[in-house]
Structure 1
């Protein structure tokens, strides 16, 4: 099993997925708690939403979707599920 290249590829892709999830959390947390800790009277608004909400939840969603699409397209490999064998 250690010689099977599929496990190495799966481990690398899993780490990439965890990295994307950590990036998304940092993005969300940074904007939500960075911009959102001011007084409500001092909020700025984008499309009628508080800027912290827009950047953390709306824009963050589109950024992570784009990153996932690009990651799957350019970094992930298609591997067969079947074991190679003689029969």
Structure 2
């Protein structure tokens, strides 16, 4: 049986972000479309997309939305021969 290889997020047209919230909790690998990033605003449009995702999650879960403290791009993971 052939091994399925996953395409990298950058190849699919998205960028991954790590989010640190005001309560010091963290969410990793939040996906944001690549086409909204860049330009004069840099990564700032990612905050709006992630806040909208958080708003949707908060509505569905019935919990209050958490305030974002900071956003950083997730490091690109380099696959080694031992990774499966």
TM-score range, shorter chain: under 0.3
TM-score, normalised to structure 2's length?
0.25
TM-score, normalised to structure 1's length?
0.25
Which structure features the higher share of strand residues?
A: 2
Higher-Rg structure is 1
